Structure 1
Amino acid sequence: MTERLPGYRPPARWLHWITAAAVLLMIPAGLIMTREGIPRPLQDALFLFHKNTGVVLVPVILARIAYRLTHRPPPLPVSVPGWQRRAAGLSHALLYVLLVVMPVSGFVRVRSGGFPIELLDRLGAGPWLAKSERLADIAQGIHAAGAFVLIAVLALHIAAAAQHALIRRDGVWSRMWPVGGS
């Protein structure tokens, strides 16, 4: 049965779900836009979406990290085994690291590759980096590897959430759901 647990506060919930929605849209956009044979107009639209959503997401990620550093999450139920607690802590830490690494490596890849980031350009932000194919290639490698690590960690995170919601029904899922709870 569902145990009544203290939930995350509304700011944590909304920052989580805004981030989740953006990342879950950016992953397929990023995977599709880099494939060979994609029609150029679709590829251009996906690049625009991916880059500019990343720009919008950065302040959300920074707010989320600041909030997390100043507000402890509610405790897990005592029924969660120690190994799952450690796995949850490790996966959350890795997600936060990836939420920083991905936009930074994407920014470095695009700017050092000499490409625009339209939203930043409209805001008057300079390129901040000189063109460097070597740096662009390194950043692209980091971004590509990070994408696959992010996909794997997100798959585990979603599987764990589903397990708590559908199988264990232990109240862990409802703590982060954006409506209800305390």
Structure 2
Amino acid sequence: MAMSDTSYSTFARIMHWSMALFILSTIPVGFLMIQEGLSRSLQNSLFIYHKNVGVLILVLAVIRLAYRGFRPPPPLPDHVPVWQQRAAGASHTALYVLIIAMPVAGYVRVVAGGFPIETLDAMGFPRLVPESKPLAETAKTLHFYGSYVIAGLAGVHIMAALQHGLLKKDGVFSRMWPPVRRGAD
């Protein structure tokens, strides 16, 4: 296979690393913002960051999935065992589901709870769910437990990538890593 057949496109790589940055920043912010003892100002800033980056993650996820529909990812190399290929496929599917579900649950929790989502409110985006305390509580619970699941899956994803990049050095990691251009000696 040619390199272009085995590597992700520049756009896919930019989307991957941008989303990774946003997701990996919102997880600790989400856990921090609900801690007791924070100043109201800090807590409000963390909530605003978390909500608005969540909106950005959802938009990027929709774009990324649409792109993926038009340009499927390259197949894993033949040397990767079938069980690892299946595990990678299942974990990627689960990550995509959660990357969509978490912002949606967060949106429902906030809007049904009667709270603002500053970016969407500034754009005049309509509130798609009614205010409802039971709905807000259900969405809050789903978002809370989902945060542990997505954090765990992200951890597994990172560990698998590092295994391929640092231990096996089998080219799987470099498919998504930004290409390194070597100058002429």
TM-score (norm 1): 0.93
Distance 1:154 1:52 in 2: 21
1:115/1:83 CA distance change after superposition, 3 Å: same
Distance 2:25 2:80 in 1: 31
The answer to whether the 8 Å contact 1:110/1:136 transfers is yes
Distance 2:24 2:34 in 1: 17
The structural deviation recorded for 1:85 is 0.7
- The one-letter code of the counterpart of 2:92 is H
The structural deviation recorded for 1:164 is 0.2
Q: Quick check: 1:108 aligned with 2:108?
A: yes
Q: Quick check: 1:18 aligned with 2:55?
A: no
**Aligned-CA RMSD value:** 1.6
Moved more, 124-133 or 157-166: 124-133
Match of 1:134?
Answer: 134
Match of 1:124?
Answer: 124
Distance 1:48 1:37 in 2: 18
- The one-letter code of the counterpart of 1:41 is S
The structural deviation recorded for 1:128 is 2.5
Aligned residues: percent identity?
A: 47
Secondary structure at the residue paired with 2:77?
A: coil
Secondary structure at the residue paired with 1:92?
A: helix
| 1:40-79 to 2 correspondences below 5 Å | 40-79=40-79
Deviation digits for residues 126-177 of structure 1, max 9, x if unmatched? 3222210000000001101111000110000000000000000001111001
Which structure is richer in relative contact order (CA contacts within 8 A, separation 6 or more)?
Answer: 1
Moved more, 118-127 or 107-116: 118-127
- The one-letter code of the counterpart of 1:127 is R
Distance 1:174 1:68 in 2: 19
- The one-letter code of the counterpart of 1:42 is L
Moved more, 49-58 or 4-13: 4-13
For structure 1, list consecutive stretches of 5 or more residues without a partner in the other structure. none
Distance 2:178 2:122 in 1: 33
For structure 2, list consecutive stretches of 5 or more residues without a partner in the other structure. none
The answer to whether the 8 Å contact 1:5/1:77 transfers is no
Question: How many residues of Structure 1 are paired with residues of Structure 2 in the alignment?
Answer: 179
The structural deviation recorded for 1:180 is 4.1
Distance 2:120 2:56 in 1: 10
Secondary structure at the residue paired with 1:124?
A: coil
The answer to whether the 8 Å contact 1:33/1:43 transfers is yes
Moved more, 106-115 or 126-135: 126-135
Secondary structure at the residue paired with 1:48?
A: helix
